[in-house]
Amino acid sequence: MTDYKTGIIESHKSGFGSSDAKNIIALTTNGVPNVGLQKRIHAIKHGIEKEQISTAAMRQGDAIEQQIYEMLRNANEDENTNIESNPLWVMPVEYPFSVFCHPDQVVITEDEILILENKASIKPIEYWKQEALYQVAWQYMCAKAIYPDKNIRVRLVHYDTTDYVQFDASKINYFEFDVSYLIQFSILFNDSFEYLSQNWETFEYLEGGELDLTVVDSNHPLQIQIKELEKAVLAEKKAKEEIANFREQLTEQMLNAGIKKIQSENMTVTLVNETVESRLDSKRLKLEQPEIAERYTKASIKKAFIKMKVKE
């Protein structure tokens, strides 16, 4: 396996890779770049290197990926079949940014390309079928753009690292993605690329990669929306403060009067007496028993949302 890390760093300075897939998909839903995509746009426009993180789990994953690559090479007896590790694929597009990917392994024959996406984890393969979906859809898109005449297949290679000591091929499981499903994401990706390309020069960000509407043209499409949102948020804040005061006063009055429940035409108010709650100290569990905490952590996709903070 070649040293591809430098290539990945350089690629990210000029364009979008498969690690950006989720944020690119979110653009089709939100209509505007989310914070993650804003930061990537800022980094690409200014040639800023993407921060590289290395953990023990990641290094273990790299070692397992190397073993899988060697296993593929040793099993290959067809001289016309080429097996590549972490090739750099750059889509032939004319955007102010590049679109690329670094698939883990690729098996190339005369008629077909098989993309292998490795996931070494204690999390089950069912988790990665969903978690890796956008990433492999991105890789499929790149492959089809570069090799339009070849049949493209995409396979998830999952290695269970539970109680990992040394590489054991029996811990590998496979899942073949439905290409007809991946094609749908390719369409969404390309729609987002067109939007980004058309608006590339209008994106204005602070050093931190945040959109600052105080310095952006007043005709920016988000200006009106933000103004309306500000009004609604301020009204909501005032209403919440009033409701909190009412609740506090009413609780005290019901306690003093011994009233358990009040009913009106549109609502019911029930007094809940003071209780003692027991909660799991998840922070301490993660600190003292990280393996147990990870094993019993259930991952789920959380829909994109915005956080709002009103200036005092």
Residue 98, C-beta contacts closer than 8 angstroms, at least 6 positions apart:
11, 14, 15, 16, 90, 91
pTM, full prediction = 0.65
Residue with tokens 């698939």: 103
Query: Pick from 13, 23, 19: which is nearest to 46 by CA?
Result: 13
Average per-residue pLDDT in the chain? Answer: 87
User: Dihedral sign, CA of 124, 129, 131, 136?
Assistant: positive
Arithmetic mean of pLDDT, 275-301:
84
Arithmetic mean of pLDDT, 212-235:
72
68-125 residue pLDDT tens:
999 999 998 888 999 999 999 999 999 999 999 999 999 999 999 999 999 999 999 9
Helices H / strands E in the chain, number of each: 10, 10
Domain boundaries, the chain: 5-202
Determine the pLDDT at residue 51: 65
Q: Reduced to 3 states, what is the DSSP secondary structure of residue 83? A: strand
**Strand ranges across the sheet with 15-16:** 15-16, 98-101, 89-90
Distance CA 305, CA 170 (A): 41
Strands (E), 19-164: 82-85, 89-90, 98-101, 105-108, 112-121, 151-160
Q: Give domain 5-202's CATH number out of 3.90.320.10, 3.90.700.10, 2.30.110.20, 3.30.429.10.
A: 3.90.320.10
